[in-house]
């Protein structure tokens, strides 16, 4: 991080970029890369695709920076862009391969590794379990439980109503619990 961007607020950085200091956008990228990356990785389940979606989101963020109404809320605004990019990427991936299984019957037939002592296995199981949620449920779950956003904020980002979101999150929790309990007892 450059010496003249440490401690500088997002709003100030955004203003500098809008004033013509393009290089400063890099500081915003560095600031949000890992945080947004976390959402993208868990949402898409594939690091390479996550990085592509992330790169895409950052570039679009730059191109539409003027439309960020409140520079102080650059972060949440960028989140919205990323959520959209992940939806597009997810839809594309679904057409390409059958990673996101939604058929309940098929789910129960698949075996899961046990016991869940090994960290790498646990990560695998969580990733597979997430993959089994519908994209809407997974999205809502990650935004609420991992990114800690309020329902009103999630509603703004996703365009869904608050009660629909609450139902999706509830469903996601139930499914994850069910899948992982099953995994423990195999």
Partner 1 sequence: MFDRIVAHLREPVRIDPALDERVMAEIAALRAPAPALLRRFLPLAGLAAAAAVLAVVFVARPRAPTIRELQFVLVAPQAATVSLVGDFNDWDAARTPMRPLRSDGPVWSAVVPLAPGRYHYAFLVNGSRWLADPAAPTASDDGFGTPSSVVTVSGT
Partner 2 sequence: MKLAALFVALTLATRVAAQEPRLERLDSAARAPVAALIDSARVTGLPAEPLIQRALEGTTKGAPAGRVVAAVRRLAADLGRAREALGLSTAPLELEAGAAALRAGASPAVLTQLRRARHQPLMVPLAVLADLVASGVPPDSAAAAVLVLAGSVRDADLVEFRRAVERDIALGASPAGAATGVARDAALGVTDLNSSARTGSARPRRP
Question: What are the residues binding partner 1 (CB under 8 A)?
Answer: 22-23, 25-26, 29-30, 33-34, 37-38, 41-42, 48, 50-52, 54-55, 58-59, 62-63, 122-123, 126, 129, 142, 145-146, 173, 176-177, 180-181, 184
Please state the closest distance from residue 26 (CB atom) to partner 2, in A: 6
Which are the contacts of 73, defined by CB distance < 8 A and separation ≥ 6?
none
Shortest spacing between CB 35 and partner 2, in angstroms: 19
**Termini Cα distance of the chain:** 48
How many chain residues touch partner 2 (CB under 8 A)? 11
Looking at residue 14, the DSSP 8-state letter turns out to be H
Smallest separation (angstroms) from partner 1 to the CB of 47: 8
Please say which residue, 161 or 174, places its beta carbon nearer to partner 1.
Answer: 174
Touching partner 2, residues 116-175 (CB under 8 A): 120, 123-124
Spatial CB neighbours of 6, under 8 Å, sequence gap ≥ 6: none
Partner whose footprint covers residue 2, from partner 2, partner 1, none (CB < 5 to 8 Å by kind): partner 2
Distance CA 72, CA 11 (A): 4
Local structure of residue 142 (DSSP, 8 states): I
Residue 110: left (phi > 0), alpha (psi -120 to 50), or beta? beta
Which of 167, 127, 162 has the alpha carbon at shortest distance from 44?
A: 127
CB of 49 to partner 2, least distance (A): 12
By CB under 8 A, name the binding residues for partner 2.
1-3, 23, 26-27, 30, 47, 120, 123-124
């Amino acid at each position: 991080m450059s010496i003249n961007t440490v401690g500088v607020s997002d709003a100030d950085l955004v203003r500098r970029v809008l004033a013509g200091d393009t290089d400063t956008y890099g500081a915003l990228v560095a600031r949000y890369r890992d945080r947004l990356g976390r959402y993208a990785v868990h949402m898409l389940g594939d690091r390479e695709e996550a990085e592509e979606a992330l790169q895409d989101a950052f570039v679009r963020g730059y191109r539409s920076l003027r439309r960020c109404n409140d520079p102080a809320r650059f972060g949440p605004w960028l989140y919205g862009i990323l959520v959209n990019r992940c939806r597009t990427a997810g839809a594309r991936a679904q057409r390409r391969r059958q990673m996101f299984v939604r058929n309940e019957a098929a789910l129960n037939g698949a075996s899961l590794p046990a016991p869940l002592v090994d960290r790498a296995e646990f990560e695998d199981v969580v990733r597979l379990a997430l993959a089994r949620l519908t994209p809407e449920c997974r999205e809502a779950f990650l935004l609420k439980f991992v990114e800690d956003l309020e329902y009103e904020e999630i509603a703004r980002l996703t365009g869904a109503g608050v009660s629909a979101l609450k139902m999706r999150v509830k469903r996601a929790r139930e499914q994850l619990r069910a899948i992982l309990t099953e995994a423990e007892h195999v």
